[in-house]
A and B are shown apart, each in its own frame.
Chain A
Amino acid sequence: GEQVEQRPPHLSVREGDSAVIICTYTDPNSYYFFWYKQEPGAGLQLLMKVFSSTEINEGQGFTVLLNKKDKQLSLNLTAAHPGDSAVYFCAVREDTNAYKVIFGKGTHLHVLP
């Protein structure tokens, strides 16, 4: 089945700097990808969903890039601020079981003022 590796596990950046989180997946038939944000003591909040035909998605202050050749999904926070401090998870929907999602282990992002 699908496997997802996420790196780095911990990331500290200064306010205004960029932060990049990368996930690598194994199944070339995967088409649907997600990024979630988890703030302390809270559940996971859907940040972005990506379909394989879309290589770049942009949201408020971040860019998601899908590289199908290398089976990589990345989240780039362009100018981090302290409110971005959270745990970020990537997730990949399994091709063989459409209702099962495989999560990365998460990245603890700390944005220093």
Chain B
Amino acid sequence: EAAVTQSPRNKVAVTGGKVTLSCNQTNNHNNMYWYRQDTGHGLRLIHYSYGAGSTEKGDIPDGYKASRPSQENFSLILELATPSQTSVYFCASGDWGNYAEQFFGPGTRLTVL
């Protein structure tokens, strides 16, 4: 049973449109993360959350908002999508502890035309 799921798996959006990417985890982890993956850049952190109601800016938050309405759900919102936001987006969950390792969802491929 997949512990971190993302929807949609693929999305085509138009420039200027609003896009919402959703993530659900059944790990009961406190922390959740949104990354984007681009060739030549690896994974870059956009937003993260320590728990329901909290969101924190990562390394590249401009143009993105995040929402954590519950322990299980974490959304990434592009209010005005631009072609530069075409990418593969990954959600991850993790917990407190020494390692604090992260567990990833399958990814969402977003194309902004």
A binds B: yes
Interface residues of A (CB under 8 A from B): 6, 32, 34, 36, 41-46, 49, 51, 89, 93, 98-101, 103-106
Say which one of B14-22, B70-78, B99-107 lies at the interface with A: B99-107
Which residues from A are CB-within-8-Å of B104?
36, 43-45
Interface residues on B, range: 20 to 34
30 CB-based A-B contacts, threshold 8 Å: A6-B42, A32-B100, A41-B106, A41-B107, A42-B106, A43-B90, A43-B105, A43-B106, A43-B107, A44-B43, A44-B90, A44-B92, A46-B101, A49-B99, A49-B101, A51-B98, A89-B43, A93-B99, A93-B100, A98-B100, A99-B31, A99-B48, A99-B50, A99-B100, A101-B100, A101-B102, A103-B42, A103-B43, A105-B42, A106-B42
Partner among B41, B45, B50 whose Cβ is within 8 Å of the Cβ of A105: B41
Complex interface bits, B11-54 against A, C-beta within 8 A gives 1, otherwise 0: 00000000000000000000100000000111101001010000
CB distance from B111 to the nearest CB of A (A): 15
Contact across chains for A42 and B107 when beta carbons are under 8 A apart: yes
Shortest B92–chain A CB gap in Å is: 8
A36 proximity list for chain B (CB < 8 A): 104
Are B4 and A32 closer than 8 Å at their CB atoms? no
Contact B98 A32 (CB under 8 A): yes
20 extra interface residue pairs, beta carbon distance < 8 Å, beyond A41-B107, A42-B107, A100-B45? A32-B100, A36-B104, A43-B4, A43-B90, A43-B104, A43-B105, A44-B92, A44-B104, A46-B101, A46-B102, A89-B42, A98-B100, A99-B48, A100-B58, A101-B100, A103-B42, A103-B43, A105-B41, A105-B42, A106-B42
B92 contacts which chain A residues (CB < 8 A)?
Answer: 44
**Contacts of A105 on B, CB cut-off 8 Å?**
40-42
Q: How far is the CB of B72 from chain A (nearest CB, A)?
A: 17
